[in-house]
Structure formats: structure tokens, C-alpha cells
Amino acid sequence: MPIYAPTDENLERAAAGIKRGDIIAFPTETVYGLGADALNPAAVAKIFEAKRRPFFDPLIVHIADKEQLQQVSSETNSKIIELTERFWPGPLTLVLQKSHIIPYIVTSGLDTVACRMPDHKIAIELIERSGTPLAAPSANPFGYLSPTKAEHVLDRLGDEVDIIIDGGECRVGIESTILMISDRGYALLRPGGIPVEAIEEITGKIMINRNMTDIPSSPGQLPYHYSPETKIRIEDKIRFDEEEACFLLYRSPEGDYPKERAEILSENGDLTEAASNLFSSLHRLDKMNCSVIIAEAVPEKGPGIAIMDRLRKASKK
């Protein structure tokens, strides 16, 4: 079984693997990542193979401290510094001009690179011990639900990775917010762990991607992303009269409901808690062999924006 506790010895072993060009699954505060040395194109290619991910879908580069951004991106200005001071370490990914040392396989041929500093001790330890930034997408097969536990990685990619570092359940549970910064302003490429309203306190109003026709579309926006095998249907008001269905509930329902076929994201409707439970609940429901997962819509504010984004994509499969 390739799941390893995050001991000194195992982290050293994982870092040695990264230096040799292996791929390693590791925890972050958002979801588990599948990492390789971002400066080693052959190692990065293994990530695409393991995930069966198309080469046109670029990867996020993970760094261990804010200063390391200078290694990854040639760009800097006071707004970028303000954003990293406020939100790093944390679930904000910035898309910036890449530096020449980042190979094009990481960026799918783009001159921009996505970069973030995770807010997770084990991730930071691994990057530091590896002595290189780590290119890492979420550690799931392309198109499937993101992993928020080591077991999710083992279930779907166990044959593809030698080492999965176990950091328990991911605290945020939903991927990072992706913000592109260019001379044309700010564009939100993916809602995520940091609510867009919080970023706008620094940037002012942010454009959403569809308003900027010539920026590369972020394949995270492909409609079939984040999908369980079971079909998903989103409803505003849930009735429990479909016998073969199971239910993803935003909060505790008032009346009776089929408990053995339901997952509750947050008993009292806290959106941050709901986001953190989204993927693990969907993983559990996907194992029940129901005809359909009926998901209760959540309010679209704060973390609710990212939750609805993932549910809509999952429901379009």
C-alpha cells in the first residue's frame, strides 16, 4: 500500500523521489496534489500520463515561500506583492508571466505560469526538502472528483504513484481560486478556496473569464470537470420521493429523510464547512450505486460560488 505517514524519514524518501524525477502525491489545504519537479520536463510528463490528462491543460507550480515566486515568474508589482502578503500561504493561485526556467510542458506552451504557496506544513516540508518548486495538479484521474483524503488518491491512482503522503483530510476541501493578472487587469479563471469578494478588496472589481476572449481558457472550466461516475442533478428544493436516488444536502432538512442515502454538507448551513465536505461527500455517494445524486443548491455567495461551480460542472457530464 503506497500510503505513508508524514514522518521525517518518509518525507525524505518522497523528496529523494522528486529529485530522481518521480511523482509523489501529497496533501495541501485544498485537495491532494500529484507533484513532480517543476523544472524537470520528463518528470512533469509522468503527471500527465498518470492522470491521463491532456497536454493542453497546464499545471500549477507550488512554492515553499513567497520569495520563491521570483524563481517562477519574471513579473512583479505592488499589487502582486499585496495579494501574496494577504493570501499566501493559502488557496489563491496567481497566473503571471513565466520565467525562462519553467519548461513549457508545465504551462502547456503558454508564456504564463500558475503559482501558489500552499498553507500546509507537509506540502511546504516536501517542497523545501525537494529543493525545487513542485508542479502539481489535483491527484485524481482527469475529469474525476478531486481527492481530499489519501484514500481517495489510493482508490483511483494507487497503481500510478509510488508514494502517497498521508496528511489526513484537507481543511479547505475545494481547489484554489485562480486569478490571472495581466496588463488588461484581473480575470477570475476559477472560483475556489478564497472568495472573490476578499480578493476584490485589493484588486477592485474582477472580470470573469468569458469577458476576456483572447486569454487562454482555463481547462478547469471544461464542463465535464470534477464529475463522479453517478449522474448529478441540482435542485433548489429537495423532495425525497425518488427511491433509487441518493442526496447531497446543503444543510439538515426539517422533516424526515433517508439518512442512509444522504450526505449533509453542513448541519447548520455554514458555507465554508460545506465546501470542505463537498468532495468527500461526493466520493461516498458515488460508491453507493444510486441511479442519480440529487444535490441541493447552495446560496451563491462566498464559498458558495465555488461549490455551485463544481456542482454544475459535475452535473454536465
Residue number, 86 or 171, with CB nearest to ligand TXA:
171
262-264 β-sheet, strand order: 232-235, 292-296, 245-249, 262-264
| H helix runs in the chain, sequence order | 8-20, 41-51, 69-72, 78-87, 104-107, 121-130, 150-157, 196-203, 271-286, 303-315
Please, what sign has the CA dihedral across residues 249, 254, 259, 265?
positive
Question: Of Mg ion, ligand TXA, none, which one does residue 113 interact with (CB within 5 to 8 Å by kind)?
Answer: ligand TXA
User: Which helix or strand (DSSP H or E) is residue 144 part of?
Assistant: none
Question: Of Mg ion, ligand TXA, none, which one does residue 281 interact with (CB within 5 to 8 Å by kind)?
Answer: none
Please list, in sequence order, all residues whose beta carbon lies within 8 angstroms of the beta carbon of residue 213, skipping any fewer than 6 positions away. none
Shortest separation between residue 294's beta carbon and ligand TXA, angstroms: 26
Q: How many residues does the chain have?
A: 317
Shortest separation between residue 293's beta carbon and ligand TXA, angstroms: 21
Cell digits of residue 308: 455551485
Is residue 114 within the footprint of ligand TXA (CB under 6 A)?
Answer: yes
Question: Of Mg ion, ligand TXA, none, which one does residue 176 interact with (CB within 5 to 8 Å by kind)?
Answer: ligand TXA
Is residue 27 within the footprint of ligand TXA (CB under 6 A)?
Answer: no
| H helix runs in 148-302, sequence order | 150-157, 196-203, 271-286
Cell digits of residue 5: 505517514
Shortest separation between residue 31's beta carbon and Mg ion, angstroms: 7
> Scanning residues 188 to 247, which ones bind Mg ion (CB under 5 A)?
none
Of 175, 263, 286, 296, the one binding ligand TXA by CB under 6 A = 175
| Nearest alpha carbon to residue 249 among 264, 236, 260, 271 | 264
Residue number, 114 or 246, with CB nearest to Mg ion:
114
Binding pattern to ligand TXA, positions 129-168, x when CB under 6 A? -------xxx------------------------------
Of 17, 33, 195, 228, the one binding ligand TXA by CB under 6 A = 33
From CA 146, how far away is CA 249, in angstroms rounded?
Answer: 19
Of 57, 75, 155, 169, the one binding ligand TXA by CB under 6 A = 57
Number of residues that bind ligand TXA (CB under 6 A): 27
Is residue 95 within the footprint of ligand TXA (CB under 6 A)?
Answer: yes
Question: Of Mg ion, ligand TXA, none, which one does residue 30 interact with (CB within 5 to 8 Å by kind)?
Answer: ligand TXA
Is residue 91 within the footprint of ligand TXA (CB under 6 A)?
Answer: yes
| Cα–Cα separations (whole angstroms), residue 55 to 22, 44, 52, 101, 104 | 18, 10, 9, 19, 10
Is residue 112 within the footprint of ligand TXA (CB under 6 A)?
Answer: yes
Is residue 28 within the footprint of ligand TXA (CB under 6 A)?
Answer: yes
3-state SS of the chain: helix, strand, coil percent to 5? Answer: 35, 20, 45
Residue number, 40 or 138, with CB nearest to ligand TXA:
138
From CA 114, how far away is CA 97, in angstroms rounded?
Answer: 9
From CA 66, how far away is CA 1, in angstroms rounded?
Answer: 35
Q: What Rg value do the Cα atoms of the chain yield, rounded?
A: 19
Question: Of ligand TXA, Mg ion, none, which one does residue 265 interact with (CB within 5 to 8 Å by kind)?
Answer: none
Residue number, 4 or 144, with CB nearest to Mg ion:
144
- Note the residues at the interface with Mg ion (CB under 5 A): 138
